[in-house]
Amino acid sequence: MIRRHSLLALAALGAMPAWAVRGSGPGAAPGHATLAAAWQDGAQQHIGLIDVAGAHWSVRHHLEVPTRAHGLWVEPGGSVLAAARRPGDWLLRWQPRDGAVRWHWIDDDRRFNGHVIASTDGTTLWTTETDLDTTQGRLGVRNARSLEKTAEWATAGRDPHALLALPEAVAGLPAGTLIVANGGIPTLPETGRAKRDLGRMDASLVALDPADGQLLGQWRLDDPYLSIRHLAWDPVSRRVGVALQAEHPDAAAKAAAPVLAVWDGRALRAAEQQPVVQGYGGDICARPGGGFVVSCPRADTLALFDAQGRWQALRPHRQAYALAAQPLGQRWWNGGERDVMTTTAPGQSSVATPTPNTAAGARLQLDNHWLAWARP
């Protein structure tokens, strides 16, 4: 309780600007973007807004959070939802314009698994969670205003992670169907993130009815050691890209494992003929014109695929983590060790490399995810 009460003081920091940094990249990308992001600054964890404009980027606003944040969701009014990284105990709504924060703490027998999304009408939130007593996955159904849970559904697996709502009908599944990534990795409450009994992994992709949580479909990959983690919708091909993280006991098999699978509503298929990228997909977004980009921080690269999951190219970027794409646009962004890469549809890229000002010399370590933030 002491830590929770101390967050009242932290909430006042929400509207404080962080430091401005200037890029020294080779050129300026056209346009401007503001991204909602999570990062670590020394021993402190933050969420905030990052402005990207050509060869320059800066942190506009930030909020210190008690533990590492993971998945973010931007609401139409400009507020940002953030969930703690698994096994997490907090969820929040932050308003960057005035720093207002609403916190929610999960019950002691549940833990957040790092991701939250909202319904299209803005009245309902869904959060991936774990029941600590049974280790089974749960989907929390929450009142969007209060963040309080109103219902709870089984995810037909354990270790649920990312989720999305289909924006249109796919292969007989109606628009709005919830697609949930069950990572399938066994853990125990007393060991937190420690992975146990990987031979019992059971990763799956499931479709749930958004009205009552009914299981509408479930798909698995042939390789049981591929954990299904993150999701992206490609509006061109009308398919879902799935970022994978390998857990093979054999080091060579793990390193060579695919980092992408593609779901078309009927089947889930892993990518083929992909180069070795250390078997770890950190984040995923759709490519302009169709296809997917997967960040591979352990290989310091981005892996580019077409909409069928065929490997296209590698693009080096040191410690490539967070990805965001402009919805139906011609631009996407990737956060690396210290810089931001902006890529346009023809494949042209520019990189902004920050130099902290004299008031702040700490290094930002970006988390796996960020999202484009639209000004209200």
- When mean pLDDT is compared over 205-209, 286-290, 331-335, the highest value belongs to 205-209
Whether the pLDDT of residue 106 is over 80: the answer is yes
Q: What DSSP letter does each residue of 138-194 carry, written as one string?
A: EEEEEETTT--EEEEEE-SSSSEEEEEE-SS-BTTBPTT-EEEEE------GGGTT-
Per-residue pLDDT at 1: 37
What average pLDDT does range 221-231 have in this prediction?
96
* Residue that wins the pLDDT comparison between 345 and 157: 157
For tokens 């963040």, what's the residue? Answer: 147
- Rama region for 213: left / alpha / beta (φ>0; ψ in -120 to 50; rest): left
pLDDT digits (tens, 9 = 90+) for 30-76: 457 899 999 888 889 999 998 887 666 788 889 999 999 999 999 99
How does residue 197 score in pLDDT terms, banded at 50, 70 and 90?
low
What average pLDDT does range 263-289 have in this prediction?
94
Whether the pLDDT of residue 245 is over 60: the answer is yes
Name the amino acid, one letter, at 106.
I
* Residue that wins the pLDDT comparison between 254 and 32: 254
Whether the pLDDT of residue 18 is over 60: the answer is no
Share the mean pLDDT of the chain: 84
Task: Say if residue 87 is preceded by a cis peptide, omega within 30 of 0.
Answer: yes
Architecture of the domain delimited by 2-372? 7 Propeller (2.130)
